[in-house]
Structure 1
């Protein structure tokens, strides 16, 4: 087991941001349940560990709220417009900007407010908005860019489809999104899906539980079933991003290709898991008494 003091800081973040992600979603169906949005903005005394960088908890709140909570975004971003460009790593390099969050769940209102306060729109934002000329010009300028997935492995085409889910769309907006869908579908590679080998209910059950790598109360992970009945990986006691099965007892997190999570077995019983990053390895032991639960 890795010495606790050598553990990468993202595993020890007391904000437990893995818990903010309830599911990894290729659509907006579960977006309203995706993040914790009821917390009041954090006010702290003293300097944060990374000062003058903005406190991690504030950044996590902005990106989390950008999925669904316009009023909270208005409060936080109006007071400090630079938060419109907030960026968060949900885990293992699953980077997401505030406007990226609004874009993949189809929240045009939040994306528009963020842009009015300095957010930087990208191809996924324009896709969600159904901006065919902008998206087409980007693809023509950089052929193949349509194959790149957004946060949580959500494809460019799915961003356009999610843009249609916003309440109160005009007929022109609907037509614009449909025209962009038709264009991207004609390319044939704007909706590449990450391989996810099937798991039986019994196989899933074997992985569920809590895994500890240290003596601290937050030194561990939980494997649970999310709302779509897929395995999720989160900080101890929390739901997190989706696990994609790539081999026997081998998974990747939220479609991040360079990180492998391998479950260790003895006599066909899961005894722990090992996280393999390019420059880092961490092993956590499964706690016998813990049980996963369905959200």
Structure 2
């Protein structure tokens, strides 16, 4: 192949490759690609204790289930995170049953030592992880009451002392 053939082939191939890419990116984005931030804030806020409001909003906007609100400075929270740190087990269970993404903080709330031990064994620094608003695993275990006493004692045995860590 000589230089002239290479250039013609290269330009022709580039045009073929660019056409589908250009056509994909020239499509306007749907207005439904991002949840309204005010609705997300309302949903997450309701997760702190307004069960009926959470159900109402989730029925109207099912994709809110795992939406996170940014309270600023990297303090992200979901409705499940809110229910977990305030100890609202009934709401947390409802959200999990709907498919919400549970994490180690929710496991601590529910006293799930079978989840906490292997997780901290694999990720020991998670003992000092900050959940929403800086609440720690120990805080969540304390909110879990008697059901989470074994987790609370275990966390303390590993050196957990603080229930809230300053975020900023």
Fold similarity call, TM over 0.5: yes
- Please state which structure has a larger fraction of its residues in helix: 2
Q: Which one of the candidate residues 133, 142, 152 is aligned to 2:123? A: 142
* Residues 59 and 186 of structure 1: CA distance in aligned 2, closer, same or farther (over 3 Å): same
Residue in structure 2 matched with residue 191 of structure 1 by the alignment = 162
Equivalenced residue count is 138
Residue in structure 2 matched with residue 131 of structure 1 by the alignment = 112
Matches within 5 A, 1:104-123: 104-123=85-104
What is the rounded CA distance, in whole Å, between the counterparts of 1:192 and 1:102 in structure 2? 16
Q: Return the TM-score normalized by structure 2.
A: 0.76
What is the rounded CA distance, in whole Å, between the counterparts of 1:81 and 1:118 in structure 2? 11
Say which is worse superposed, 137-146 or 120-129, in terms of deviation: 137-146
Q: Which one of the candidate residues 126, 129, 135 is aligned to 1:154? A: 135
Deviation of the 1:191 alpha carbon:
2.7
Residue in structure 1 matched with residue 51 of structure 2 by the alignment = 70
- Residues 139 and 164, structure 2, Cα contact 8 Å, conserved in 1: no
Residue in structure 1 matched with residue 42 of structure 2 by the alignment = 61
Deviation of the 1:182 alpha carbon:
0.8
What is the rounded CA distance, in whole Å, between the counterparts of 2:57 and 2:77 in structure 1? 18
Q: Which one of the candidate residues 256, 270, 274 is aligned to 2:167? A: 256
Q: What are the ranges of 5 or more consecutive residues in structure 2 without an aligned counterpart?
A: 1-30
What is the rounded CA distance, in whole Å, between the counterparts of 1:193 and 1:103 in structure 2? 14
- What do the CA deviations read for 1:114-170 (whole angstroms, capped 9, x no partner)? 112221000000111111111111101212211111111111101111122xxxxxx
* Residues 131 and 73 of structure 1: CA distance in aligned 2, closer, same or farther (over 3 Å): same
- Please state which structure has a larger fraction of its residues in strand: 1
What is the rounded CA distance, in whole Å, between the counterparts of 1:141 and 1:156 in structure 2? 16
Q: Return the TM-score normalized by structure 1.
A: 0.44
After superposition, the CA RMSD in angstroms is 1.7
Are 1:178 and 2:89 an aligned pair? no
Residue in structure 1 matched with residue 64 of structure 2 by the alignment = 83
Superposition misfits of 4+ residues, deviation over 3 angstroms: none
- What do the CA deviations read for 1:183-219 (whole angstroms, capped 9, x no partner)? 111001363754xxxxxxxxxxxxxxxxxxxxxxxxx
Are 1:97 and 2:78 an aligned pair? yes
What is the rounded CA distance, in whole Å, between the counterparts of 2:115 and 2:59 in structure 1? 28
Q: What are the ranges of 5 or more consecutive residues in structure 1 without an aligned counterpart?
A: 1-49, 165-173, 195-254, 258-295
Question: Bigger radius of gyration, 1 or 2?
Answer: 2
